[in-house]
Structure formats: C-alpha cells, structure tokens
Structure 1
Amino acid sequence: MKQPHLSKVLLLLLVTAFLGLLVFTGCETEKEVIKTEEVIVHDTITVNIISVDSIFATPDSVTQGKSIMLTADVTTQPEAGALTFKWFAEAGSFDNAEGDTVSWTAPDSAGVYVVSVHATDGEFIGIGSRMVGVDMFAPTVTPYYVSDAACSQCHPGMHDDWEMTGHAEAWAGLMTSSHAGPSCFPCHAVGYEPQPNTGNSGHDEAPIDKFVDVQCENCHGPGSDHADGPSPANITVDWDALVCGKCHDGEHHPYYTEWQDSPHGFDPATSAHGAPANSFCQGCHEGVAAAYRLSGDVSS
C-alpha cells in the first residue's frame, strides 16, 4: 500500500534535481568574462638636427652702399656632421657667401631687405633669415609697410590709376606749402598708424622716397604678409568712412565732420521712412566710376 507513495516521492526528487541542474548550467553560460588589454600610445617628437636660432647683424642697420657683418647662430644635435653655410639676399652683395660670418654690402636703395642663410651637413639643413634696414630701421614686427612699388608688381593697372590722383602728389604738395610741419606727415606719408604697431616701419622713414605720399597702405594697412603670399585674408579692405575721415577732417578741411552732419552720413538706425544710408565716401570718390555716376550715365 505504501509503495506507490514512495515512487511519487522518488519521482519528485528526480525532477527537482534535474531542474536544479538546468538552473546551475544556465548560470554558468551567462558568466561574465573580463579581459584586460595593454595599449601603448607613441608620441612623435620632431627634433631639428640643425637649427639656425638667429642671425646677428653688426650694426643692425646700414646706410646705402655700406657693409655690415652677419653671423649665424646655430644649434646642432650630436648626429649632425660638419656644417657648411650658404648666404642669400634679395639685393646687395656678399664679400663671400660662405661661412658662418660674412660681410654684406647694402644696395643703393633705401628699404628693408631679407637676408637668409642655409646651414647643412649634406644630409640635414637649417634655414634662418632676418630683415636688415638700409637707411631706415628694420621692422621689429610683421606685417610691415612695403610701399606702392611692391603693390604695383601685381596691381599695375590700379597703380597707374593711383598715380593720376592727388594722393600720389601728397608729399610734394606738402613740401610747397607755407605751413608744412611734422604734424602734417601722418596724412602725407605712409606708416604713421598708431595701431597696429609696425615696428618703426614708417614713422621714422617719411623722408625716404618709398614712403612718401598717400599710398595703397594708407588705406589697406601694412602689406608685407600680402606681398609674400597674396590672399584676401591678409590685407585690409575697409569701406568705413573713417578710413577717409582720419585725414580728411580737422582744422583745414573738416570734410568728415561735415559729412557726418549732412543727410549723406545719417545713422540708418535713426533714419526716417526707411531711407537708405550711405555709410562710406567711396561711392562718390573712386575716380572713373564716380565720374560716370555724377554725369548721370550709369550704363557702364
């Protein structure tokens, strides 16, 4: 009578054991395995085997046709071999263009000249350069003023037009004036801008021919960077009336002040009836184009 009951108990125990085994096996298959990998990051460090740290000039400026001594200051790494030097200049001449110290004779024209040197062991090379002033201070910052002659190399047509304007005769006109004085120079020569600092690239050089008259850089700012690599990004193009007003104003000809007080110079924010504003002077003062407009012939 008790045998069937015992069989049921044994069967229940077997089922329970089987289910426990399944649960245990399932837990084993879900076991998390963590693996650690070592990652090594390599930084690349550039080392100049030969480096021209600076070029010393004695003296640091020179008069036309005179000579100065130039010395290359070079740092080398242990793997560098014996060095040879080669000097270059955009004008003037060297007594000997080889060696770490050379004598350079300045050209006959005042200005700023770039002198450079290549130092090499035949495998590696270091290059250095500096500016030397001839009858003027060498600029201590960039960009610096380069004069209308540099601009004319790429803009000959615009330069020809400029030569027909009063701006191209600004210095000569001042020199014939009975009241000329140093306070007049900023508006009759290039390089008197207080900002940006141009490293004496114009202020001390007004008597030099290349920096007289109202030139391209009076409106466009110092152009050495643009001359070295022409790009719209490295030259100033500013249509604001104050570009003209900084000179065309004051006691002798208060044109900018008069313009500000006239209907031409009103502030568009305060204008009535949405009338258009003329925020610059060039529309009536840019030579041939202005002549067409003033004549009424705007077909061109």
Structure 2
Amino acid sequence: MKYALRISVVGLMAALLLVLGCTKKDTTGPVNRPPEISSVSASSDSVGTGELDTLFVSYSDPDGDSTTHIWSSDSGRVFHANRDTAFWAAPSTAGLYDVRVNVFDGTDSTEATVSIQVGEYTPAETLYYVGAQSCNEECHTSILTWWGSTAHADAYTALVNRGRGDDPQCLVCHTVGWNPNLDNGGFDEQMVDRLAGVQCENCHGPGSFHASAPDSLRQPLDSPLTAQFCAECHQTQHHPYLNEWQASAHSSSDLAAGGQASDPGCADCHTAEGFLATLHYDYTLPGDPQPLVCIACHHPHDARYQGQLRLPAGVGEPGLCEQCHMRD
C-alpha cells in the first residue's frame, strides 16, 4: 500500500513538472530586424575642393524601433553627423570619395554609402549645339565646304538683308536651336552668331556628344527620312513645297509602283532609300520604305547643281530625272 502510494505521488509530481515545463514563458523573444535605408544621396555628386555638400538619408525600422543615424568619412569632415541635415566638407585633394551613414535601432545597424567627386567637375550629359565649324576639324571638311555654297548657310543673312533679322517667326527656321523661352545653348543674335543659318545640327540634332567623341559616335538624322521633316520649315506661305509634293505621284511608293514598292526591282525608283542606294549613298531598304521624299532628289549639303539637286536637271546622262524616267 505504501509502495503504491509512493508511486502515485512520484507520478503526480512528474506530471506537474511536465505541465509547468510546457507552459514556461519563452524569454528569447522575436528576432530583431535591422533598419532599412530607402535612399541616400548628396545635394551634388561633384564639388570643388573644400566645398560643402549636403547629405540626405531616408530610412525606417520594420519593427518600429527607435532609430538614430550618424554620418562618417575617412576623408574630409562631417558636420552635424547625427542630425536630419548633415554636411560634408570636401578634402583639398581631388578624387572620388565615399561618405557613409550608419542607422542604428539599439540592436542592429545598416550602412549605406554615397560617392562624391571632388575637384574634377563632370558636366551633366546634356546635348547642346556646337555649330558647323566644329564639324570642320579633320572629319567633314568637304561636306562643310559644299554646304557653304547652299542657301541654308546664308539663311540668317538673308533675313537680315530683308530687315527680318529679329523676327521670331523667321528665326525658328533660319538659325540653329533658336528658342525665345529657353537658355538651351541655341541661337542668340547677340552672343552666338556661330549658330546663324541652317546648319548640320538643324537636321542631325545637337552635336556635342558627336564632336567630343567622333570615332565612337555617329550622328545620324535626328528624324526619320520623311518629307514632313523638311516640311517643318519648307511648308509656309512662301514655301508651299509639301502641298506640291503630296499632289505628285512621288509622294506614294505604293501608288507609284503599283503596290510593289518593296520589290528590289522597283525600289530603285519608287523608294527614297532605294534611289539613294543607286547613287552610292549608304542606305538600305527598310521594312517600311519611304516614297520619293525631298532629299531623294535634293542634296541638303551641296549646291553645285541648280535647286540643290543631286545630279544635273538637264537632258542626257547623267541627268537626275533620266535615272528613272528613261528606263524601259
């Protein structure tokens, strides 16, 4: 009897310990998550030696913990390192420097870095106009010489001679990049006479990148090979060329070629790209070829022939019209 009672007491105590052990509170708690930095930046990524740069950081804590931050750098000097607005004084030696920020939540930290160039100004990659003379340095001398004989080259002079040199309606088409509302590196009659007239960049777009790296960058037309491109200027009261062209069979490859504009046997005379290729220009026939647009027959760079035609207009070889209109 005593033996059985002893076993019962022992069993009761074991069960009690098991229950207490299973219900014991877990004191380890959830795993802490470190702060998360969403952005880090400086007011300028390029400053002069000794100049101040303002530092910015945005962050949050996924657990809602209180957070602090501190900026630091191995070079230069940080002011107000743990405030909302901090400053970094650049060192006196040019180079690329890293400024770090650490965000703490009392347990863990997260670090981010912003790089700042010192003493070596790097301009923003913004295109700007450089003028036709920049195209004359060893690369496009012959084209620039031909262009100098065209009406495009003297377009602004023609305005001045007519007393219209300050007419905003005329300046748009007789200068490079003219815009009355923007300081955009375009034409200003008092300051930038190198951008007077209709030059390379009117059709090819701002050439600053091309001029700075001519061996690695081509500067193709800034717009597709279309009549509408020329019509931006050549469709006014005194230049109604677009209307005249649209009324001609030249304006429709499909119409003129009987729907065979993409046929290599027809493309030479019924598409701009095909015709230019026959004249030994570097053009290939695209999937959507253009009809015989303005520059198929007119040379934008050369005025050796009347009307800036690519070949003489007279009868007989190598007349321009005979290239197509005397074929079998």
Taking structure 2 as the reference length, the TM-score comes to: 0.48
Deviation at 1:71, TM superposition (A): 8.2
Deviation at 1:199, TM superposition (A): 5.8
Instruction: Check conservation: 1:240, 1:280, Cα contact below 8 A.
Output: yes
Any residues of structure 2 matched to 1:207-286 within 5 Å, and which?
207=190, 208-230=192-214, 231-232=216-217, 235-236=220-221, 238-265=224-251, 267-271=252-256, 273-274=258-259, 276-277=270-271, 278-286=291-299
Instruction: Check conservation: 1:54, 1:72, Cα contact below 8 A.
Output: no
d(CA) in 2 for partners of 1:270, 1:297:
27
Larger CA deviation: 178-187 vs 156-165:
178-187
Task: Confirm whether residue 298 of structure 1 aligns to residue 318 of structure 2.
Answer: yes
Calculate percent identity across the aligned residue pairs: 34
Cross-structure match for 1:169: 154
Contiguous gaps of at least 5 residues in structure 1: 1-50, 57-69, 83-99, 101-116, 132-139
Letter in 1 for 2:134: A
SS of the residue 1:247 aligns to: coil
SS of the residue 1:218 aligns to: helix
Task: Confirm whether residue 53 of structure 1 aligns to residue 45 of structure 2.
Answer: yes
Taking structure 1 as the reference length, the TM-score comes to: 0.51
Instruction: Check conservation: 1:52, 1:127, Cα contact below 8 A.
Output: no
Any residues of structure 2 matched to 1:28-39 within 5 Å, and which?
none
Cross-structure match for 1:191: 177
Cross-structure match for 1:97: none
SS of the residue 2:74 aligns to: coil
Letter in 2 for 1:157: S
Q: Provide the aligned length of Structure 1 versus Structure 2.
A: 195
d(CA) in 1 for partners of 2:294, 2:196:
23
SS of the residue 1:142 aligns to: coil
SS of the residue 1:183 aligns to: helix
Task: Confirm whether residue 80 of structure 1 aligns to residue 75 of structure 2.
Answer: yes
Contiguous gaps of at least 5 residues in structure 2: 1-42, 55-70, 78-89, 97-115, 261-269, 272-290, 321-328
Letter in 2 for 1:297: E
